[in-house]
């Protein structure tokens, strides 16, 4: 008996280990692709602008392997695969802090190709090119997917209203087709889920089509624990269901090349819009930081999606690419958005901020990012080790 139990536990341990390893490998591969696209955006526009590039690194820390191209750029893969960077001539470090001492000691020819000595417009273009590359990458992925397979949309029509739920209290009924929420047009059921889960205990204005007429209702999602692939999370719930098993609930749309690109742009903009909405709700306190995931949670989700097949993984790569582009545009020093703020201030003042002020801002920005990483990592670990949600 004990031998059998020991064998079962050993096999379960092996399954968990393999699952974790699969998630880790999937996460590293996906993140490396997205980081390469982002950094290549900075790199290629920097080259176009005549700026010298010292290093192009996937990962941080000690170099594992690499090579130097004919223009002197060191391309390398480093030990910690949680990001990457491009270091231009004149950069002090991977965060692109200006190295005033190095620039002052350069020859006129070296100074001409240094990043800090470029015009504000060129520097802004190089900085913005990283997030823009992420967005373009997403559009290309979505466009290719739509052109090859079309797009299947799950109709946002309610099939069942749970007795005693918030949806019933609001007057929603089976057969209602949701048209908009808080003035935002709803196209598919995932759009509905996005609005409701991110709006717990907040009244939503919902417009539905019922028996050929439009009806406006107010419903307040209830804050509940919901099981997800990364563990239990708190989210808004209204208490209705859509039957995805009904063929009539699905609508297939096919696209030509131009139509696929346009739809890819719309899909990318939809993710950007949802991200901006989420950031706004985080700032105003309408969404809890407990709902955010960090590297561990994203790694788990990546492994889960990878297990669903290559098509699902490709779509997830596009989603993550947009998300990483958006995060980098936040106006926080160290991130691209913070650099763009410095460029804007310089353009207004007609001179750059003092290097000491920039250094302090970078340190504060780094501390903020580090704090956020600790918070979201704690969220991830809590979800992993909490076997059931609190009651």
- Do 177 and 246 lie in one domain? The reply is yes
Q: Does residue 220 fall inside a structural domain?
A: yes
pLDDT at 93: 61
CA distance 121 to 115: 12
Q: Which of 39, 55, 263, 267 is catalytic?
A: 39
Which residues does the chain have with pLDDT short of 50?
A: 1-3, 5-18, 387-391
Name the domain boundary from 228, 250, 272: 250
pLDDT at 36: 94
Q: What is the CATH number of the domain that holds 200?
A: 2.30.42.10
Q: Does residue 364 fall inside a structural domain?
A: yes
- Do 127 and 165 lie in one domain? The reply is no
- Do 141 and 8 lie in one domain? The reply is yes
- Do 349 and 215 lie in one domain? The reply is no
pLDDT at 177: 93
Q: Does residue 99 fall inside a structural domain?
A: no
- Do 165 and 243 lie in one domain? The reply is yes
pLDDT at 97: 66
The total of other beta-carbon atoms located within 10 Å of residue 50's CB is: 10
Q: Does residue 96 fall inside a structural domain?
A: no
Name the domain boundary from 250, 268, 292: 250
- Do 123 and 162 lie in one domain? The reply is no
Q: Does residue 228 fall inside a structural domain?
A: yes
Q: Does residue 113 fall inside a structural domain?
A: no
pLDDT at 101: 64
In the chain, the number of structural domains is 2
Q: Does residue 258 fall inside a structural domain?
A: no
- Residue 63 pairs with which residues in a beta bridge? 78
CA distance 174 to 332: 46
Domain that holds residue 25: 2-49+118-147+323-385
- Do 160 and 135 lie in one domain? The reply is no
CA distance 200 to 27: 30
- Do 123 and 215 lie in one domain? The reply is no
Which three-class secondary structure state does DSSP give residue 379?
A: helix
- Do 342 and 228 lie in one domain? The reply is no
- Do 168 and 192 lie in one domain? The reply is yes
CA distance 112 to 90: 10
pLDDT at 96: 64
Q: Does residue 222 fall inside a structural domain?
A: yes
Six-digit token pair at 39?
Answer: 């950094």
Name the domain boundary from 223, 250, 277: 250
Does the annotation count 55 as an active-site position?
Answer: no
pTM for the structure as a whole: 0.75
């Amino acid at each position: 008996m004990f031998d059998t139990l020991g064998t079962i536990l050993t096999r379960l341990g092996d399954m968990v280990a393999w699952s974790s390893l699969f998630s880790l490998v999937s996460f590293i591969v996906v993140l490396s692709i997205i980081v390469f696209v982002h950094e290549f955006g900075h790199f290629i526009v920097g080259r176009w602008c005549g700026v010298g590039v010292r290093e192009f690194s996937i990962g941080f820390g000690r170099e594992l392997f690499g090579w130097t191209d004919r223009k002197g750029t060191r391309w390398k893969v480093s030990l910690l695969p949680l990001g990457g960077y491009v270091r231009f001539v004149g950069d002090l470090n991977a965060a692109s802090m200006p190295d005033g001492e190095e620039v002052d000691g350069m020859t006129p020819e070296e100074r001409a190709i240094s990043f800090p000595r470029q015009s504000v417009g060129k520097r802004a273009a190089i900085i913005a090119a990283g997030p823009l590359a992420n967005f373009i990458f997403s559009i290309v992925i979505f466009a290719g997917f739509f052109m090859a397979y079309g797009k299947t949309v799950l109709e946002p029509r309610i099939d069942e209203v749970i007795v005693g739920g918030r949806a019933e209290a609001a007057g929603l009924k089976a057969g209602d087709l949701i048209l908009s929420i808080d003035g935002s047009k709803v196209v598919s059921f995932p759009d509905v889920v996005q609005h409701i889960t991110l709006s717990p205990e907040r009244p939503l204005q919902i417009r539905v089509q019922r028996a050929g007429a439009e009806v406006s209702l107010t419903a307040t999602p209830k804050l509940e624990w919901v099981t997800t692939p990364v563990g239990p999370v708190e989210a808004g719930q209204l208490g209705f269901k859509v039957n995805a098993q009904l063929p009539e609930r699905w609508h297939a749309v096919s696209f030509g090349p131009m139509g696929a690109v346009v739809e890819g742009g719309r899909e990318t903009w939809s993710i950007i819009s949802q991200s901006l909405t989420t950031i706004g709700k985080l700032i105003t306190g309408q969404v809890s930081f407990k709902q955010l995931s960090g590297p561990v949670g994203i790694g788990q989700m990546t492994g889960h999606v990878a297990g669903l097949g290559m098509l699902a993984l490709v779509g997830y790569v596009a989603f993550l690419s947009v998300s990483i582009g958006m995060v980098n545009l936040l106006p926080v020093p160290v991130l691209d958005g913070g650099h763009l703020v410095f460029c804007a201030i310089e353009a207004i003042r007609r001179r750059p901020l003092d290097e000491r002020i920039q250094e302090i801002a970078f340190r504060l920005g780094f501390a903020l990012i580090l704090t956020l990483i600790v918070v979201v990592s704690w969220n991830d670990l809590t979800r992993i080790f909490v076997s059931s949600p609190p009651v």
